Structure 1
């Protein structure tokens, strides 16, 4: 309807995953490089995750278009199938004939294996792409793993790419799926677009559709990013409706007002309210910012005693690799070996002015009507908290306004101890982390993202900005997809990550359980705990031994190589040292019932 009015050759913002319109942001380029490397250079699974609408399917189709002529591909778009139906679907995609009256999965797998062997003999390769893989059942996931057993002595006959939403990562971290997880050799998580990338994305799609002139104003693009939070699919929906609105009003360009009208027509009310809430928060940002700088200067984590200074004396632990020096010739380019969302280093938080600068950026301030210091006006945050209280639901604002759990109390740390089955009693001249050490636990104080917390998979205390401009410590006890459970002083609320993000600058504290006598193992160590480490690795990696075998208590070269193999399979820095991150993941995969997890699906 509006195509001829604006001069488009085709619809610029269709929601179908047309590879021609794919905007290759830096993160999409990195993701494609990871996929190519994983599928062409390794013999394991490749994992691609991202929130709904971030371009996973479009990226998979782009990959299919770039495959060499010597590669056959099967694309599964609907994984809600039985194991038999999935294998039959793969045979259909690869044009493998089979008796359609058969009900035997063995018949299908035998035919598939014969086809793959024939392809291999002709110098051809075969890949399987499963989209929306978070919908796979455990039974089907196990069958997918078994398909990778189709192999020669040197190569897997079938390379598999699993693409899905973030909960796919939680599914694969469960102990019963550890054999599949250990075969993942490349993984990437697609994050939403930044404000700058949102503008470039809109201009790119209009250019592909035949229009190079600017139609969306800068204010309109800023508004679109606020409403959509960088999700390409939502950007397409709003832009399409905004173009229709401009056409109906005979307007040659689109401003923020038209974008708002479009959002009211196509976005759910909760999405619009979330954006409006961000704008209301921005109105108080200058006042809160001045409070925040002062509050951070007065009450950092260290002065609360939440940082375990004894841990700072230890040698750096294993972390997911961020860089690789002098890589061997067989390694992929640097852009491929850098994993997404690598864990932040455990460091002292930045200076208060740096924290203030981040706060300004994350609030995306609109200072059209700031609150005046000293005025009697109610801040938007306090007003929101009162609305939640009147509704009988504490919500995020209610938790941030709760005077019973401000950062001067032990409420959060006590709740965290209880999740570990411990009772916390404040003691003179001892920090909470020193008390934790007496209970056989360790503190991990770090800075990162929600993906870092998903990865550690332990309940954590996060530090959020309060309506009064101070800092509140709240307990995160569950993460389920894009939802988290926050609690404080007997109140709790299930809140989306998008709601919390403007108030969180990435700091968190969690507890973990190391072996009794040391929290780091390396070559040369000799103890009973080394034997236990070896047994844990054997269990999670599916290593079996003949009857009468006794595990060695010496950390030798063989164990070092096993640790490296485990680290590589789980995107940890492959240094052969079983440090903090390696031990935390091992504890998760061995399903120790005394360890509380964020993802209850791991039980």
Structure 2
């Protein structure tokens, strides 16, 4: 697998660490004893999205020769990732509440009145790499690494009526669940808008009526508002999605529902969190400069496997062309303008620490 790792990473240490870490988690989730080519490629697709343009294509072409010093570097990164995974498994075995279903009494004891406690296990750094090897805690929930979401098997499929009856009527409950996934604290009542609470802790809200297609593309949990035939509203957090079913998290449990049933209650509108770059207030326009533009340039360079610019930049034709190329690779409209969706996909492609949508789970 060493030549394949070099194909995907081009020998860049940061990319090697990201790929090996995700591949090891994938092997663990599938109970595989070794990381094979299929697991490695799947992990690479999750981390990088596509093979770097200057690297050979996956099928049958000659792998570029790695320098003599490169093999120890790759091997060392794999060893480091293996150690991290082992520590994660040990931590998970020690954790008595592995599914995150902490008691209500424990939450009351640990949280200030009216506020869900923030996480102390996840740093809210916009460019922090995804710490997939260490669970974090927030609001009484154990946050499992994104690569191990498949271990959280949802309950059996529910019909629309029973799911609606089980969902909380107050939106604040859904936002407490969402905040727990992000490791932040939000009010447990309607005393403050959750988007304002998130903004104080480095997050922004993104609202859309783009439905399941956009949620699949963004690959992140979302708060949904459900309505029955009488117009009554209920709220849940979408945490998993497959071609035929969805997983909604309500309070301390996860419930699977066929998409045909979900669409009886939900019509495509959703809200989610995302980590915005510093100084971001809206789509970046031509000639604009500042921290948000610098972050954009740095993330694009990281995605391309290039060094960061290292100096202030502004939005010009060259940067817009890079944005457009990234948008094409991600299936976005290639307008060369960096807005919330482009930044969310950049965060995902460059390993920013954000919750991921569960896309498969163990058969019941």
Q: Smaller-chain TM-score range?
A: 0.5 to 0.7
Structural mapping, 1:272-291, within 5 Å:
none
Q: Do 1:463 and 1:504's aligned partners in 2 also have CA atoms closer than 8 Å?
A: yes
Structural mapping, 1:106-145, within 5 Å:
139=37
Q: Do 2:278 and 2:291's aligned partners in 1 also have CA atoms closer than 8 Å?
A: no
Quickly say closer, same or farther: Cα 1:599–1:178, change in 2 above 3 A. farther
Q: Give the drift of 1:412.
A: 0.6
Partners in 2 of 1:503 and 1:181 — Cα distance? 43
RMSD: 3.6
Aligned residue number for residue 415 of structure 1: 177
Aligned residue number for residue 20 of structure 2: none
- Is 1:579 matched with 2:339? yes
Partners in 1 of 2:323 and 2:238 — Cα distance? 30
Q: Which of these residues, 539, 543, 552, is aligned with residue 306 of structure 2? A: 543
Superposed CA deviations along residues 505-547 of structure 1, whole A, max 9, x for unmatched, are 11111111111211432332222432222121012123358xx
Aligned residue number for residue 565 of structure 1: 325
Q: Which of these residues, 272, 294, 297, is aligned with residue 534 of structure 1? A: 297
Aligned residue number for residue 596 of structure 1: 355
Partners in 2 of 1:543 and 1:589 — Cα distance? 14
Q: Give the drift of 1:553.
A: 2.7
Aligned residue number for residue 94 of structure 2: none
Q: Do 2:172 and 2:190's aligned partners in 1 also have CA atoms closer than 8 Å?
A: no
Q: Do 1:529 and 1:553's aligned partners in 2 also have CA atoms closer than 8 Å?
A: no
Partners in 2 of 1:425 and 1:573 — Cα distance? 36
Quickly say closer, same or farther: Cα 1:174–1:552, change in 2 above 3 A. same
Superposed CA deviations along residues 538-573 of structure 1, whole A, max 9, x for unmatched, are 12123358xxx6344333322121112112222322
**TM-score (normalizing by structure 2):** 0.54
Q: Which of these residues, 207, 219, 235, is aligned with residue 445 of structure 1? A: 207
Partners in 2 of 1:535 and 1:569 — Cα distance? 17
Q: Do 2:279 and 2:291's aligned partners in 1 also have CA atoms closer than 8 Å?
A: no
Q: Give the drift of 1:583.
A: 0.4
Aligned residue number for residue 472 of structure 1: 234
Q: Do 1:522 and 1:576's aligned partners in 2 also have CA atoms closer than 8 Å?
A: no
* Gaps in structure 1 of 5+ consecutive residues: 1-81, 83-136, 144-169, 184-391
Structural mapping, 1:192-341, within 5 Å:
none
Aligned residue number for residue 319 of structure 1: none
Quickly say closer, same or farther: Cα 1:402–1:429, change in 2 above 3 A. closer
**TM-score (normalizing by structure 1):** 0.34
Q: Do 2:240 and 2:246's aligned partners in 1 also have CA atoms closer than 8 Å?
A: yes
Quickly say closer, same or farther: Cα 1:393–1:529, change in 2 above 3 A. closer
Structural mapping, 1:98-109, within 5 Å:
none
**Alignment length (residue pairs):** 228
Superposed CA deviations along residues 83-107 of structure 1, whole A, max 9, x for unmatched, are xxxxxxxxxxxxxxxxxxxxxxxxx
Q: What secondary structure does 1:568 align onto?
A: helix
Q: Which of these residues, 133, 143, 162, is aligned with residue 398 of structure 1? A: 162
- Is 1:178 matched with 2:50? yes
Q: Give the drift of 1:394.
A: 8.3
Superposed CA deviations along residues 159-188 of structure 1, whole A, max 9, x for unmatched, are xxxxxxxxxxx97851144336999xxxxx
Q: What secondary structure does 1:433 align onto?
A: helix
Quickly say closer, same or farther: Cα 1:176–1:470, change in 2 above 3 A. same
Q: Give the drift of 1:428.
A: 7.0
Q: Give the drift of 1:589.
A: 0.7
Quickly say closer, same or farther: Cα 1:499–1:399, change in 2 above 3 A. closer
Partners in 1 of 2:336 and 2:36 — Cα distance? 31
Quickly say closer, same or farther: Cα 1:469–1:181, change in 2 above 3 A. farther
Superposed CA deviations along residues 200-239 of structure 1, whole A, max 9, x for unmatched, are xxxxxxxxxxxxxxxxxxxxxxxxxxxxxxxxxxxxxxxx
Quickly say closer, same or farther: Cα 1:142–1:173, change in 2 above 3 A. closer
Q: What secondary structure does 1:178 align onto?
A: coil
Larger RCO (CA under 8 A, 6+ residues apart): 2
Q: Do 1:182 and 1:570's aligned partners in 2 also have CA atoms closer than 8 Å?
A: no
Q: Do 1:534 and 1:551's aligned partners in 2 also have CA atoms closer than 8 Å?
A: no
Partners in 2 of 1:398 and 1:521 — Cα distance? 45
Q: Give the drift of 1:409.
A: 4.5
Partners in 2 of 1:479 and 1:394 — Cα distance? 13
Q: Do 1:179 and 1:540's aligned partners in 2 also have CA atoms closer than 8 Å?
A: no
Partners in 2 of 1:592 and 1:530 — Cα distance? 17
Q: What secondary structure does 1:419 align onto?
A: helix
Partners in 2 of 1:138 and 1:557 — Cα distance? 42
